[in-house]
Chain A
Amino acid sequence: MTPDDPTRPDPEEPARDVPAEPAPPGADDDTAEREVPAFGEPPAAAAGDDTAERDAPAEPASGGADPAERDVPAEPTSGGADPAERDVSAGDEPASGGTADDAPAGDEPASGGAADDTPAGDEPRPWTGHVPPAGDAPRPFPGHVPSEGDEPPAWAGEVGAGRAGAGRGGWSPPGGPERPAYGWDPRVPAPPPRRLARSSSDRVLGGVAGGLGRYFGLDPLIFRLAFVLLVFAGGAGVAVYALGWLFIPDEDGRAAVGRSRWMTAVGAVVLACAVLSLVGDPPFLGSGFGLLPFALLAVVGVALYRASRGEQGTGRVLARVGLALVLIGVAGAGSVAAFLGAGVGAGALIASAVIALGAALVISAFHGGARWLVVPALALAFPAGLVAAADVDLTGPWGEREYRLASVSELEPRYEVGAGEVRIDMRDVDLPAGTTDVAFDVGMGYVELLVPRDACVASNIDIGVGYAGTIGHGHGGFGVDVDERPVPPSGAKTLRIAADVGLGAIEVARSPEELHVGDRDRWRERDRGPITAADVACPGARS
């Protein structure tokens, strides 16, 4: 509106432009589209938000109240906005501190001359939200019980800030800030409950250490150092930090889990692991199993969390978690079946099923997608890949066998085990001079071989996944390859062991006391006492 606007009201007659009564509720008003808080309820916007100031039911407009008589400090004071110049009804709210862009046209003139922005001819519209009846005293936010003798509070244009005790929007009883006689002071806000949240202000990566430090009242540097130290424990620091980042919500209460960003981040990390696996041991696995069990547990935990997310009521949450556990169990059973099937020669069939699931995923992509097919596909592919890479052959005999040999003639050249255990005690065998060969072909299981104390032992062991313990040495993890070929002295009795174990362990020892995986007590009744050269595979051998 310009000063020459013909629609400009006569500054000498402000009272005529002010309607005596507010419009009835439900009137056609664009302000009705705004979210209007209930009377006495703090608006959702934070303190300082001009929206909160506009939405606050600051003016009981009944009775044609003169703005000058109201105790609402909400009149625009800047820009020379004389109330007499405004074409704003008493029901309208001048939004102090707001901008013309924030206010709907014709609704609330903001301070700073915003009244000039009101379109000409726009009808003044009163507040159409909750209008308290005449004489109804404004109240502070719910829950507040003023002390006896306090006068009704005066609105300060906003009420939300009173919750945080920020000094704005609260009300002060007459008599100043003295504490009342009784113990509870309504003017002192209760301290917020302590909760664990990732810090947004004290953060290096995700704010996990900062949040932990604030929660426990310690220096966040302590937690950062702990995370760094745990990195050297097989990468546990990275895993623990990642779990904290995923499961500890931020200060707004939002957890990373369940949002697409965590999936993107995890996917990027897994892809990085794929690249690193090409040049060395897989990250977090190293030469052993590393954090693989923890990763699987984390996957199960995330699955259960996502299954229970969004459900209301303990019963429904338990039902969803139970269903998720059943599905996880089904996937696990499918994986075991795929492992056994691939191990007995149906690997090509399993691989074909994986390809079919992949093709189904591709086709589904053009019909809305069926992402869940990834789960059964991986449940089949992972064990099949394990069988393939570890050369697991389960077609041999299954069961447990135990041999106590008295002479070398009882020694078979090859022992085959599909799934099971084989234990051979050769401590009573008098090996002939020269080389004696023995071989083991185990799909999944355990081999235990007790060798004569005077034998020179040479080992060539290949294990897909498991542990190989030779005399004085131990190796475990994925793709274990042990090749120990000592040069025996002339005339030595050499036992040459060749073993191929898909999934399991083999232990070669001179005494049951040297066993790590096997049962030491199994042979105890036949133990011959201490072995002086227990940690030497080939006594007298040249390295």
Chain B
Amino acid sequence: MRPRRGFDAASLVSGIAVAALGLVLLLHFAGAIDLSFGYLWPALFATVGASLLAMGLSDR
């Protein structure tokens, strides 16, 4: 892990998005929900987009 100082909002946003995506997957494999592509694509796009946006904005 590259050491950085201070708080990194991009990592926080990315972590929350990734954890939420993992939770959706876990619910599917546990049989609680039925994940289809109609929900998978928005979830994946939202995770990647939120991460990129947070990284881009925090680098300014």
Binding site for B on A (CB under 8 A): 260-275, 277-278, 282, 285, 342, 347-348, 350-374, 377-378, 381-382, 384-386, 388-390, 464, 478-479
Residue on B nearest A369 in the bound complex, by CB:
B8
Contacts of B39 in A (CB 8 A): 389
> Given the complex of chains A and B, what is the CA–CA distance between A98 and B37 in angstroms?
65
Interface of A is mostly: helix
Cβ B55 vs Cβ A263 within 8 A:
yes
Per-residue contact bits, chain B 11-51, to A (CB 8 Å; 1 contact, 0 not)? 11011111111110110111000011111111111111111
Is the beta-carbon distance between B37 and A378 smaller than 8 angstroms?
no
**Is the pair B45, A370 in contact by a Cβ cutoff of 8 Å?**
no
Among A271, A351, A382, A464, the residue within 8 A (CB) of B49 is A271
Contact, CB under 8 Å: B8 / A273: no
Residue contacts A-B, CB under 8 angstroms, 30 given: A271-B46, A273-B49, A277-B45, A278-B38, A285-B41, A347-B29, A348-B29, A350-B29, A351-B28, A354-B25, A358-B15, A359-B15, A360-B15, A361-B11, A362-B12, A362-B19, A364-B15, A365-B7, A365-B9, A367-B4, A369-B4, A373-B14, A378-B18, A378-B47, A381-B44, A382-B44, A388-B35, A389-B37, A389-B40, A479-B36
Contact across chains for A267 and B54 when beta carbons are under 8 A apart: yes
Residue from the list B23, B43, B49 in contact with A385, Cβ < 8 A: B43
Interface pair B53/A267, CB less than 8 Å apart = yes
Complex interface: chain B residues within 8 A of A274 (CB): 41-46, 49
Chain B interface size band reads: 35 or more
Min C-beta distance of A475 to chain B, whole Å: 14
Task: Determine the chain A residues whose CB is within 8 A of the CB of B8 once the complex forms.
Answer: 364-365, 368-369, 371
Q: Nearest CB to that of B25 among chain A residues? A: A351
The residue that A381 contacts in the complex, of B16, B47, B57, with Cβ under 8 A, is B47
Pick the contact of A374: B1, B2, B5, B14 (CB < 8 A).
Answer: B14
Is the pair A270, B11 in contact by a Cβ cutoff of 8 Å? no
Give, as a whole number of angstroms, the nearest-CB distance from B55 to chain A: 5
Please give me the 9 A-B residue pairs with the lowest Cβ-Cβ distance, nearest first.
A369-B8, A361-B15, A358-B19, A368-B4, A264-B56, A267-B52, A267-B53, A354-B22, A270-B49
Q: Which residues of chain A come closer than 8 Å to B51, judged between CB atoms?
A: 267, 374
Which chain B residue shows the least CB distance to A283? B45
| Chain B positions within 8 Å of A361 at CB level | 11-12, 14-15, 18-19
Contact with B14, one of A277, A371, A385, A390 (Cβ below 8 angstroms): A371
Which residue from A356, A369, A382 sits with its C-beta under 8 Å from B11? A369
Extra pairs beyond A368-B2, A388-B29, A388-B35 (12, CB < 8 Å): A264-B53, A266-B56, A267-B53, A351-B29, A353-B22, A355-B23, A370-B2, A371-B14, A373-B14, A388-B28, A389-B39, A390-B37
Of A352, A370, A372, most B-chain CB atoms within 10 Å: A370
In the complex, what distance in Å separates the CA atom of A356 from the CA atom of B19?
Answer: 7
Chain A residues in 8 Å Cβ range of B1: 364, 370, 372
**Measured between C-beta atoms, what is the minimum distance from B57 to chain A in Å?**
6
Give the distance to chain B from A39, nearest Cβ to Cβ, in Å.
40
**With A and B bound together, what is the CA distance between A377 and B40 in angstroms?**
15
B2, B21, B36 — most chain A CB neighbours (10 Å): B21
Q: Assess whether A354 is in contact with B21, with CB atoms less than 8 Å apart.
A: yes
How many whole Å from B56's CB to the nearest CB in chain A? 3
A473-B56 Cα distance, complex, nearest whole Å:
45
The distance in angstroms between the C-alpha atoms of A478 and B45, with both chains bound, is 15
* B25 A388 Cβ-Cβ under 8 A: yes
B6 CB contacts on chain A under 8 angstroms:
368
How close is B34's CB to chain A, nearest CB, in angstroms? 9
Nearest opposing residue in chain B for A271, CB measure: B49
Is B52 within 8 A of A263, CB to CB?
yes
* Complexed CA–CA distance, A361 and B47 (Å): 13
Report the bound CA distance from A400 to B12 in whole Å: 47
CA of A271 to CA of B35 in the docked complex: distance in angstroms?
A: 20
CB distance from B28 to the nearest CB of A (A): 5
Residues of B within 8 A of A354 (CB): 18-19, 21-22, 25
- Roughly how many angstroms separate A374 CA and B38 CA in the complex, as a whole number? 23
What residues of chain A lie closer than 8 Å to B7, measured between beta carbons?
A: 365-366, 369
> Cα distance A377–B50 when bound, in Å?
14
Nearest CB of B to A488, in Å: 32
Select B40's contact among A365, A368, A371, A388, beta carbons within 8 Å: A388
Chain A nearest CB, measured from B5 CB (Å): 6
Q: Which of B14, B19, B28 contacts A355 (CB 8 A)?
A: B19
Are B52 and A270 in contact, with the CB atoms below 8 A? yes
User: Do the beta carbons of B11 and A365 come within 8 Å of each other?
Assistant: yes
Whether the Cβ atoms of B42 and A277 lie closer than 8 Å is yes
CA distance A384 to B10 in the complex (A): 24
| CB contact under 8 A between A355 and B53, given known A277-B42, A282-B41, A365-B9 | no
Given A381-B21, A385-B35, CB of A362 within 8 Å of CB of B45: no
Closest B residue by C-beta to A349: B29
Nearest B residue (CB) for A359? B19
- In Å, the complex CA distance between A367 and B11 comes to 10
Check A260 against B50 for contact (C-beta < 8 Å): no
Residues of B contacting A348 with CB < 8 Å?
A: 26, 29-30
Residues in B with CB closer than 8 Å to A357 are: 18, 22
Q: How far is the CB of A135 from chain B (nearest CB, A)?
A: 53
**B46, B48, B56: which contacts A378 (Cβ < 8 A)?**
B48
